[in-house]
Amino acid sequence: MGRGALVANYCHLVIITICALAPAARAGDDGTVSGTIRILTPGPDGKPGPKEDRSKVVVYITGFTQPAPEEMPKMWQKGKSFSPDVLPIVAGQNVEFPNEDKIIHNVFSTSRARAFDLGKYRAPNSKTIDFPKTGVVDVYCDIHEQMVATILVLPNRAFAVTGADGKFTIKGVPAGTHKVFAWHRRGEPASAEVTVAPGKEATVELEVTETKLDDKHTDKYGNPYKGSRGGY
């Protein structure tokens, strides 16, 4: 990961952390936030244009905290990739990392929000790790450079991941005015304010601009990947 991306992730971590300090949500008085995300990506001429695939944008709402749900999400290692490769969770949740490949993988992160190294293991083994703090956690494999994923550790359950059409729906949002963010791995987060009334649906449109063309990153020691370690 480049220095620019690191700074962007750090800023994003600060935003999420500050938002996590907000008071806990009260039960009831809930509404829905829905909308559409547009992604702009640089074209051959360098000018940004709309991207057809608008999936894997995490839309989340801040301003209140909620306890982590009981269920434990899984991020599989399968076909030399992480699945899902974008995973929003609530601070305090554990995530399981099963390896379903017959080859060895190493799952690690050097992100400030949660640095870890699960070591090398193969199918059918699995490891679990907790994410106590809010922030952006970039997850990689130290053996296969192409394996890239991100876990967004959020202060509450008010989040959704867009499909290819860019649409999202977030239910159970407490009434009031909140800030809603759209996060994309290759872009800067976009935000807007939304006012939610009890039992009503508020809509919001956001636009994310891709600023990175790839997911280039270093290995867990901060060195470039060696070609021979790119897979076997």
Partner 1 sequence: VVLAALLCAARAEAGRRPFIWVWDTEIVPEGEIELEQWLWVRGSAPVGPVSAAYWVWWGPVIGLNSNLELAVPFQVVSNKNGTALESFEADLRWRIFPREKTGGFQPLVRVAWHQQAQPVGPPRLDVNVVASYGSPDELHVTVDLGGRLGLPMTSGSAPYTAPLLATYAAGVAYPFFEGELRVAAEVFGEIVINPGTPIADSHHFFGLDVAWTKGRLWLTAGTLIGLTPLFPRTPVVMPRLIWAVAL
User: Mask: binding to partner 1, 42-81, rule CB under 8 A, as x and -?
Assistant: ----------------------------------------
Residue 99 found at the interface with partner 1 (CB under 8 A): no
Contact region with partner 1 (CB under 8 A), list: 71-79, 111-119, 163-171, 173-181: 111-119
Structure tokens at 79: 């076909």
Residue 218 found at the interface with partner 1 (CB under 8 A): yes
Among 41, 65, 77, 106, indicate the residue that binds partner 1 (CB under 8 A). Answer: 106
Is beta strand 81-83 parallel, antiparallel or unpaired with respect to 94-98? unpaired
Place of tokens 């989340």: 60
* Least spacing, CB of residue 231 vs partner 1, in Å: 17
Question: What is the rounded (10 degree) CA torsion for 84, 88, 94, 96?
Answer: 0
C-beta pairs of 221-227 under 8 Å, 24+ apart in sequence: 222/110, 225/145
Beta partners for 33?
170, 202
* Least spacing, CB of residue 167 vs partner 1, in Å: 36
Residue 193 found at the interface with partner 1 (CB under 8 A): no
Among 127, 133, 167, 186, indicate the residue that binds partner 1 (CB under 8 A). Answer: 127
Among 83, 128, 177, 195, indicate the residue that binds partner 1 (CB under 8 A). Answer: 128
Give the count of residues interacting with partner 1 (CB under 8 A): 20
Q: Cβ closer to partner 1: 47 or 102?
A: 102
Residue 121 found at the interface with partner 1 (CB under 8 A): yes
Residue 115 found at the interface with partner 1 (CB under 8 A): yes
* Least spacing, CB of residue 114 vs partner 1, in Å: 9
Q: Cβ closer to partner 1: 23 or 221?
A: 221
Binding site for partner 1 (CB under 8 A): 104, 106, 110, 112, 115-121, 127-130, 218, 220-223
